[in-house]
Structures are given as C-alpha cells and as structure tokens.
Amino acid sequence: MGKISKISYCGSSWSPWIGCTPVSEACTNCYAKAWAKRTGRNFSTVTLASDATFYAPIRWKAKKRIFVCEMSDFMHPKADKYRLMACEVMVTASWHEYLILSKRPERYDEWYHDGSWVNWWLGTTTENQECFDSRVEPLLTLDHSRLWISAEPLLGPINFENTLVDTVYGPHVAHVVVGAESGPNRRECKVEWIEDIVDQCRAAQVPVFVKQGSHRFPGRQGDIPDNLWKIKEMPT
C-alpha cells in the first residue's frame, strides 16, 4: 500500500481504499483478502485509506510507475463515492504513470475522460478464456492508447485471436503481463499456457512481461524455464 511495491513491473503501489468482493475464479485465493483476514478487517466493506496514504502520490515528487488499488478494484461499485477524489489526486500528481487494473472493465466508460487520463494505463484481468471473452471487448471500446491485459493468475489457455492487433491500425493493446498463481493453495498453471501467450504477443508485436511461475511466494520463477523467465518486456 505504500511507496515501494513488490510488483515487478512497477516501482510503487497506491491503495486509496481497501476492500472488494469476488467476481470470478481469479478472486478465490485473493492475497488482499487474506491480508485483511490476518489484520482483522472486513474485506467486503470498501473503506477509504488514511489521508497520508490517499494523498501520497502528490508527495512523491520523483516520477514513478504506480500500481493503483493493489488492495481493491478501482472500478468497484462500493468505491464510486471515492473514485472522483482519487482521480483528482492522479490529475494533480500528473508526473507519475498510473497502472489501473479492474475485473469490471465495462465500468471504465462511465468515468473515462481521455484528456485527464492520458498518463493512466487502463487494464483488465483475464485469467481464462471465459473472462478474456467477456472483459476485453469493453476495454477495447475505449479510445485510449494505453490499454493493457493482466493474464494473472493464469488458470487456463487463452486465445487472443485478433484482439491484440488490428491489421490496419496496429496494436489495440500496449502491454500484456502473464503469470501463474502463487500461495499455498495455488492452482495449476501449465508452462505451455504462458509460452502460448508470449508467442501470440510476439506475433502481434505487443510487449509481454512474464511475471511469475507457480510458487508459494509471489514473483518467483517456479517451473518456468530460463528462456521464458527472462522475458520482461516493457512498453516504450
């Protein structure tokens, strides 16, 4: 929730509120929910962070790549009353890049304003084919140049078909992150599922970042072979 993030494709994380409710299989072993349970919080209630945390990006004067809402979902309906304030913080601290990820991408359109969101990355989680098919389409309806996909925790093979790139206009998606589930109750992620996503990204010339293999601890190589593990491509 603070200045330094353990998420390997960004430098910092920022959680303006805490709490969420499950929407799909990816939520089953939610690390944020487990953290809330350990600390005695009611995770199903979305609560605003302290002022020190909420306004932290304004105090961070050096440019950072910030993952937003590590402990929630930026588009959660229970956060509607807080979201405008968070947007104002990001507009004020416009020297940062903000990575926003949601399992509710159909709600982006309600809040999206391209002029203010130019330095924001808008993404969605697609843990399997079913979620990919339902979530990527509303994401791609946004007229925004910084769209991304997090295929993590990857719970099945995903065929991106033609959604990554348009043969006339070029890539639809600017970045893809892929990784297995971590934790003691992690579910199977076959290495060939990750390999296939990397191959699809390479064919579409979309940068892809291999984040983690199947392991108890997040960010570890696990069973991913070295040639695949070294793929840590970032968008320019």
Rounded to whole angstroms, the Cα distance separating 146 from 43 reads 30
Residue 52 resides in a domain: yes
The count of domains in the chain is 1
Residue 135 resides in a domain: no
Instruction: Yes or no: say if 196 and 226 are a contact pair by the CB < 8 Å rule.
Output: no
**For 115-167, how does the pLDDT look when each residue is reduced to its tens digit (9 = 90+)?**
677 899 999 999 999 999 999 999 998 888 899 999 999 999 999 987 887 65
The letter for the amino acid at 61 is K
Residue 45 resides in a domain: yes
Rounded to whole angstroms, the Cα distance separating 10 from 64 reads 8
Residue 220 resides in a domain: no
Residue 205 resides in a domain: no
Residue 190 resides in a domain: no
Rounded to whole angstroms, the Cα distance separating 92 from 80 reads 19
Rounded to whole angstroms, the Cα distance separating 192 from 85 reads 42
Residue 123 resides in a domain: no
Instruction: Yes or no: say if 48 and 16 are a contact pair by the CB < 8 Å rule.
Output: yes
Residue 193 resides in a domain: no
Mean pLDDT taken over the chain: 92
Q: Does residue 102 register a pLDDT over 50?
A: yes
- Range(s) of the domain holding residue 82: 1-20+28-100
List the beta bridge partners of residue 147. 122
Supply the pLDDT for residue 161.
Answer: 85
